[in-house]
Amino acid sequence: MSTALRQEHFGPYKLVRTLGNAHGATRYAVLCSRTDTNYMLYRFEHITNVKERRALFNALLKMSTLKHAHLLNIESVSYDDNGRLCVVTPYTGNHDGLVTLDQLLNIRDGKLGEVESTRALGHLLDAIKCAHKHEIYNGQINPDDILVDRYGCLQIQLYGFETIAHRSINQNPTQSERAMLITDEIRSVVDLAYTMMTGLKATDDRIAPSRVIKKLDKNWDTWFDIGLDPIDGFDSVEHAINALPTNPNCAQWLTTKSPRMPQVHIGSMLRRFRTSPSTSRTQR
């Protein structure tokens, strides 16, 4: 089935072909008549609720402040003649269309190997670090939201959309919500990195990467053990970056763990709960 479109325009952009859907928007490859350059257009269906419409517009404006090589740049946010919200970004694909990290892994038989995986992991962690400095968080990152350009550069599309668009633009996440978003986000990237490097799923009984890849630095085993820990994990994206085995000083970061007060409190409560009956019997 052809994805080519009839003559349809959005400002100076001619819609060329559809590129599937993402975050509730239809994506299009478009050609700018002013520069003869390909771009990508995200077009959302018309939203009748004024409050929701405004919140979505404000969310996209906030996301457009993020400028980083590995975050897909939002170049403009506006409405078309039918009142549909439209977002223009650079086009990262080739003549066949977009390439996502998930598709690349399928093409490469499920894994990228040590060198390419380490490079891709660096792209993602650096992008997240930039976003967190701007107090924008995404939560779990899906491999379908990671676009790969012709040069192997990774870019996360519409970073932070789900978390920003579904709350009032003036309502920031609470401290506990922020901590959960950061934890889920970093763990999802570590999970992806494990698959990229080994070609395996990061299950509870996973195999240490050094047993899969010959001569792999065993510090990677520790890095993945921390990053995939269901309770603790890395304290921040900076912690994850500093602990990377590519860092000559990674050892001190692989052994340093900051205590998490909420977990200590819960543990104390459970111990008191378990010991209270015996204490009561002794008092009797």
- pLDDT digits over 3-46, tens only? 556 679 999 999 999 999 999 999 999 999 999 999 999 999 98
Per the DSSP assignment, residues forming a β-bridge with 156 are: 71, 146
How large is the average pLDDT for residues 161-185? 80
How large is the average pLDDT for residues 216-237? 93
| Helix (H/G/I), strand (E/B), else coil: 266 | helix
User: What does R_g of the chain's alpha carbons equal in angstroms?
Assistant: 23
**pLDDT over 90 for what percent of the chain?**
71
Count of CB atoms within 10 A of residue 23's CB?
14
Looking at the predicted structure, is the pLDDT value of residue 254 above 70? yes
Backbone angles phi, psi at 76, to 5 degrees: -155, 150
pLDDT of residue 266: 41
CA angle 87, 89, 90 (to 5 degrees): 160
Count of CB atoms within 10 A of residue 50's CB?
8
Identity (one letter) of the amino acid at 152? G
Looking at the predicted structure, is the pLDDT value of residue 259 above 70? no
Q: Is the dihedral of CA 19, 21, 22, 25 positive or negative?
A: positive
pLDDT of residue 1: 44
CA distance 234 to 190: 10
Least confident of 35-44, 46-55, 140-149: 46-55
Report residue 263's pLDDT band, with 50, 70 and 90 as the boundaries. Answer: very low
| Helix (H/G/I), strand (E/B), else coil: 90 | strand
Tell me the pLDDT of the chain averaged across its residues.
Answer: 87
Q: What confidence tens digit (pLDDT) does each residue in 102-134 have?
A: 999 999 999 998 999 999 999 999 999 999 999
Q: Tell me the H-state helices in the chain.
A: 50-63, 101-107, 114-133, 161-165, 175-198, 209-212, 219-227, 237-242, 250-255, 261-283
| Helix (H/G/I), strand (E/B), else coil: 145 | helix
Identity (one letter) of the amino acid at 30? V
CA distance 7 to 2: 15
Report residue 280's pLDDT band, with 50, 70 and 90 as the boundaries. Answer: very low
